[in-house]
């Protein structure tokens, strides 16, 4: 970590731009629950990132509560970790501006997520969508976070955060002021694919309801979605090599492995030679067992917006107590009068 001497700290965020799904759970939130026992953790609902594409204001408020409730329902404990919404901690926006002046245009231009999200007509994309990864670097470094649990799709954004931290340290001759944050990506569940298309990531913005298992889905809906998941006519292989070129089968085996704590190889030892007529019901039972209780708790919490608001307000206060002094120091380093 380039000689950085500060405390180990964790930061991660999720956009309130749609329902929380199995990919978010396995790629991110499940890791949050484990990490909160080892590190000083900050988990935010990144509402400022969400508005880089159009969000209906009433829906945005609702989704912000939904993401906060999902953190809690999945087991993030607000006594251990700060849970807050990004826009409530002003330091994120302040540091983002300074980082906009540190990051190079060429670096941001390489970001594949911008290209994917902006589509063909990038002239019409918001400027915010373009500088999105710079704000993400600010989210992380405003806490001097050393570890960032995310799914695989965030790898490139994390590399940019490291580049920005390194350039700031170098340009202002403050070696090791910012840590070079380590992504925590590895492990089963880092890349969960759509249930309808094994080549597309499971995503909040997928137009097909059946592409995602949402944390809010009840047992019946979960079982139906797994039953309808796209597969091929072959039975499951006994070895992992046999999954090559079978993206949908590989995805379902990966979900089973991630939720059961087994490896893909173990799952194939158990189910190799069986058809999807046997494997899908076993997978549906497992997803229901692990996800449906989170869904019930999520619905209970969403019925108590006052409690959710209190958690977010307390979390923002705790987060600001860490971030504000760091931003003050950054301003001094840059040469602003403070």
Active site residues: 117, 201, 204
Residue 52 sits in the site that holds ligand TYM (CB under 6 A): no
The tokens 């003050």 sit on which residue?
A: 328
Report the nearest approach of ligand TYM to the CB of residue 289 (Å).
Answer: 20
Residue 49 sits in the site that holds ligand TYM (CB under 6 A): yes
* H or E segment and range at residue 182: strand 182-184
Report the nearest approach of ligand TYM to the CB of residue 190 (Å).
Answer: 6
Provide the 10 A C-beta neighbour count for residue 191: 17
137: left (phi over 0), alpha (psi -120 to 50) or beta: alpha
DSSP letter (8 states) at residue 214? B
Q: Supply 248's token pair.
A: 């949908």
Site residues for ligand TYM, 231-270, by CB under 6 A, read none
Report the alpha-carbon distance of residue 41 to residue 7 in Å, rounded.
Answer: 11
Residue 19 sits in the site that holds ligand TYM (CB under 6 A): no
Task: Identify whether the C-beta of residue 43 lies closer than 8 Å to the C-beta of residue 77.
Answer: no
Report the alpha-carbon distance of residue 290 to residue 196 in Å, rounded.
Answer: 21
Report the alpha-carbon distance of residue 26 to residue 153 in Å, rounded.
Answer: 13
Name the one range near ligand TYM by CB under 6 A: 55-63, 95-103, 147-155, 293-301: 147-155
Site residues for ligand TYM, 182-211, by CB under 6 A, read 190-192, 201-202
Q: Supply 160's token pair.
A: 């940019």
The residue of the chain with the least Cβ separation from ligand TYM equals 27
Residue 28 sits in the site that holds ligand TYM (CB under 6 A): yes
Residue among 76, 148, 292, 316 that touches ligand TYM (CB under 6 A): 148
- How many chain residues touch ligand TYM (CB under 6 A)? 26
Name the one range near ligand TYM by CB under 6 A: 71-79, 114-122, 136-144, 312-320: 136-144
Task: Identify whether the C-beta of residue 86 lies closer than 8 Å to the C-beta of residue 49.
Answer: yes
- Which is nearer to ligand TYM, 52 or 169 (by Cβ)? 52
- Summarize as ranges the residues that interact with ligand TYM (CB under 6 A): 11-15, 23-24, 26-28, 46, 49, 136, 139-140, 148, 150-151, 153-154, 157, 190-192, 201-202
């Amino acid at each position: 970590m380039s000689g950085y001497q500060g405390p180990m700290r964790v930061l991660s965020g999720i956009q309130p731009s749609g329902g929380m799904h199995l990919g978010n759970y396995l790629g991110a939130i499940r890791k949050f629950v484990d990490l909160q026992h080892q590190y000083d953790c900050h988990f935010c609902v990144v509402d400022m990132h969400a508005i880089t594409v159009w969000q209906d204001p009433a829906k945005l408020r609702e989704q912000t509560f939904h993401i906060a409730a999902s953190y809690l329902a999945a087991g993030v404990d607000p006594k251990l970790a700060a849970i807050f919404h990004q826009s409530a901690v002003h330091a994120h926006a302040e540091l983002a501006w300074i980082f906009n002046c540190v990051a190079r245009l060429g670096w941001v231009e390489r970001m594949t997520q911008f290209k994917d999200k902006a589509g063909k007509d990038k002239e019409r994309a918001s400027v915010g969508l373009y500088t999105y990864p710079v704000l993400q670097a600010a989210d992380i470094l405003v806490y001097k976070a050393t570890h960032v649990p995310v799914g695989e799709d965030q790898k490139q954004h994390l590399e940019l955060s490291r580049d920005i931290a390194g350039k700031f340290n170098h340009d202002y001759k403050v070696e090791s002021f910012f840590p070079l944050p380590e992504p925590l990506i590895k492990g089963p569940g880092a890349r969960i694919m759509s249930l309808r298309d094994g080549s597309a990531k499971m995503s909040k913005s997928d137009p097909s309801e059946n592409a995602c298992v949402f944390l809010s889905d009840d047992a019946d809906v979960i079982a139906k979605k797994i039953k309808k998941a796209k597969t091929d006519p072959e039975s499951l292989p006994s070895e992992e090599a046999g999954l090559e070129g079978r993206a949908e089968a590989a995805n379902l085996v990966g979900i089973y492995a991630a939720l059961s704590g087994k490896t893909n190889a173990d799952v194939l030892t158990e189910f190799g030679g069986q058809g999807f007529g046997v494997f899908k019901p076993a997978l549906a039972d497992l997803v229901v067992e692990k996800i449906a209780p989170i869904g019930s708790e999520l619905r209970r919490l969403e019925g108590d917006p006052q409690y959710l608001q209190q958690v977010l307000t307390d979390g923002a206060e705790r987060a600001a107590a860490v971030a504000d002094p760091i931003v003050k120091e950054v301003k001094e380093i840059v040469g602003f009068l403070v």
